[in-house]
Structure 1
Amino acid sequence: MTARSAQDDPHAGVAAAPGSLLLDDQLCFALYAASRAVTARYRPLLDELGLTYPQYLVMLVLWDRDGSTVSDLGKALQLESSTLSPLLKRLEAAGLLRRERRPDDERSVALYLTDAGAALRERAAAVPTSMGDAMGLTAEEDATAKRLLRLLTAHVAQDR
């Protein structure tokens, strides 16, 4: 499958007819295709780090907020604990993090980077730049895309 640029798309900038059932008119498909393409571009970069994409997201949070609880991590990543548990077990088995019950609340589990997990941050530092280059967006387009996707997420989540 080859990627088409906006210049190659005859429908770019044209509003879909209300109720259209054409695949190219569906925002859900555009989001799905973009997500698959972006995730596929991450794969070789993350393979070098020994991480999957979801594991990379966990590490991004912990590199920023070491000692986060599983609950806080779930909120940050918008994931249920049942989805997080296997991810965390694999990262722990890989020696990148450790889990500890919090002494002030035995029900709460805090996540701490190991030395290896903290050191991996240095190796991962080039990933955002590599991905930015691969996406080919200007800084303004990148900021606009993130803003619109966050807005969309907020609107859709509001109705749940």
Structure 2
Amino acid sequence: MDPLSLENQVCFALAVASRSVIALYRPVLEPMGLTHPQYLVMLALWERAPLSVKDLAGLLQLEPATLSPLLKRLEAAGLVERRRGTADERSLAVTLTDDGRALRAQAEKIPATIVERLGMDVAELQDLHKALTRVIAAATR
């Protein structure tokens, strides 16, 4: 086995898998007016809003500078609001608007649609998720 063979590289398999899975989301998210990164932001907010930009960036493992343009576009779409914190003027709190909360009902269909499009068993995907979570933890030590 050649240790430099492309098909033996974990990084290659992860990169192709990531692009391929995210591509499955595109046509599902498009009618909702969301990109995949925006969908991840909305998932975090549906679960935990309100959140500071700093907490949201930490949760999504994104730099605040990367998150900021996503939030601006979501705000322009009327899905979120960013407000200065009352206790700390430097802190920006991100909350859902009524439209942002309402979009959750549409989004509830997404996981089942993606599982169906992948054509994989849910248990297999749960095992994959556990393995990837371990890879993330190992890579970020």
TM range (shorter): over 0.9
For residues 122 and 18 of structure 2, the distance between their equivalents in structure 1, rounded to whole angstroms, comes to 19
- TM-score, normalised with respect to structure 1: 0.85
Hey, what does 1:35 align to over in structure 2?
A: 18
**Structure 1 runs, 4 residues or longer, greater than 6 Å off:** none
Greater gyration radius:
1
Structure with the largest fraction of helix: 2
Structure 1 runs not aligned, ≥5 long = 1-16
Aligned counterparts, 1:1-160, within 5 A: 17=1, 20-158=3-141
Task: Please give the alpha-carbon distance, in whole angstroms, between the structure 2 residues aligned to 1:93 and 1:140.
Answer: 38
Alpha-carbon distance in 2 for matches of 1:27, 1:139 = 23
Classify the secondary structure of the residue corresponding to 1:112. strand
What is the alpha-carbon distance in structure 2 between the residues aligned to residue 151 and residue 141 of structure 1? 15
Residue 137 of structure 1 and its aligned partner are, at CA, apart by 2.2
Q: SS of the residue aligned with 2:51? A: coil
Please list every run of 5 or more consecutive structure 2 residues that lacks an aligned counterpart in the other structure: none
Partner amino acid for 2:11?
Answer: C
CA RMSD of aligned residues (A): 1.0
Shift of 1:56: 0.3
What percent of counterpart residues are identical?
A: 50
Q: TM-score, normalised by structure 2?
A: 0.96
- Superposed CA deviations along residues 103-143 of structure 1, whole A, max 9, x for unmatched, are 11111111010011111111111001101112222222111
Q: How far apart, in 1, do the equivalents of 2:27 and 2:120 lie?
A: 20
